[in-house]
Structure 1
Amino acid sequence: MTKGSKFIPEFSGQREDEEILMVLNKHWYTIAMPLAKGIVIIFLSFLIPIWTGFMGTIFSYAAGAIVYYLWIMFWIGYILYEYYQWYRDKFIITDHRIIDIDQKGLFTRRVSEIELDRIQNVTYTVAGFFQTLFNFGTVTIQSAGNNELTLRQIADPATYQREITTLVKKVTEDEPVSAEELLAFIKDKRI
């Protein structure tokens, strides 16, 4: 994919010669639990008053109706907030670097990056029953200078660990020098 393609849009801070290879979100399981919690609470908020016959009593008082609607709006807001957090957390892998965008709240974002040619070690971890069952985990990338970038809760971490390792090898392997180039270099140094 190239810069600004319709499938992978360009991003703020993208370099002119940089090609986006992958854009990853956290695994769907990480958003499923908060969404399920919010949906169940909203559903029960509608269902329990109807079952108990309490709905009429709630709405006979204006304050009760207001509190009831605020309760529903709170949980709708909770669902939207959790989805926003999940959607805005991204991992962007380009042909030059890996970028981790962490959305912290509505108005705070932390961006970390590591150049591919600085990467020294890439490991992955799948820990626990649900991570094993749904195949998601953590990819940890270590660079020269002891910097570390952690891609948490991504789907199929083994595949992405292999992909990143392959990219690093492509970027860091030196082109072999031909005999002609070596002779030309030696001649240039003699003169």
Structure 2
Amino acid sequence: MPVIAFIIYELIYRTDLTNQPKFIPEFLGQREDEEVVSIMFKHWFVVVAPMLKAISIILLSFAIPIWLNFAKFIFTYGITTVLYYFWMVFWVGYMVYQYINWYRDQFIITTQRLINIDQRSLLHRRVAEVELDKIQNITHIIKGLSPTMFNFGTVIVQSAGANDLMLEQISNPALIQEDITRLVKEATADKSVTATELIDFIKDHRV
């Protein structure tokens, strides 16, 4: 099952913050003076349940016909063979679908803003963003047995004049909160310096 092995590897690898690549590629809509700090995914535990369900059904679909001794019947008649293969392909496709949805559900942190890409289905995507210098408060929540055990939760970003940005089911939310807070301070400091320079410029050129 190379597809299953690949998906499991990707789930664990992509959600490990220590595996962030040294070079992060550009994304669609990136500004010219904007740099990507991090691209994050939801925790692998989020898709464990549907993946385990699909794997269990696939394994049972192999085992039950052999155990009940009617595997020969399945492959004797054309229609039963087609239905059997369709059933197996459906569940493999279900796993691929779950993986694609998880992979395309991303949180992007840049030097200027936070971007939340919520991939609700293959044909339904919702994108929300907030500028770093507009952020007023950042909190995180870890609630429940599984989130506490595997250290994932929700980071809530509150901003001026906009709805809260929710980074849900993300790995190590406390660390993410610290990183965003640091970037917000840097963005605010840069803005303050720019404002000071502007005031000085006006004073110097006052008639």
Q: Give the one of 45, 54, 58 matched to 1:38.
A: 54
Q: Structure 2 regions of 5+ residues with no counterpart?
A: 1-20
Matched ranges for 1:11-26 at <5 A: 11-26=27-42
Which sits farther off after the overlay, 145-154 or 113-122?
Answer: 145-154
User: Aligned partner of 2:43: which letter?
Assistant: H
TM-score (normalizing by structure 2): 0.82
| Alignment match of 1:124 (pick from 118, 123, 140) | 140
Q: Which 4+ runs in 1 deviate beyond 4 A?
A: 184-189
- 1:163 match: 179
Q: Which residue of 2 aligns with 1:10?
A: 26
**AA at the equivalent of 2:48:** A
Unaligned runs of 5+ in 1: none
Change (3 A) 1:69 1:187: closer
- Residue 33 of structure 1 and its aligned partner are, at CA, apart by 2.0
3-state SS in 2 of match to 1:57: helix
Aligned to 1:85: 101
Partners of 1:126 and 1:27 in 2: CA distance: 13
Match of 2:80 among 38, 45, 64: 64
The one-letter code of the counterpart of 1:155 is: S
Which is richer in helix?
Answer: 2
Q: Does 1:101 align with 2:117?
A: yes
Deviation string 1:38-78 (CA, Å, 9 cap, x unpaired) is: 11110111111111111012222222111111111110110
Q: How many pairs are equivalent?
A: 183
For residue 160 of structure 2, what is the aligned residue in structure 1? 144
Alignment RMSD? 2.1
Q: What's the secondary structure of 1:60's corresponding residue?
A: coil
Give secondary structure in 1 for the equivalent of 2:56.
helix
> Alignment identity in percent?
50
Could you tell me how far apart the structure 1 residues matched to 2:112 and 2:175 are?
19
Residues 15-24 or 98-107, more deviating = 98-107
The 1-side partners of 2:31 and 2:166 are apart by 22
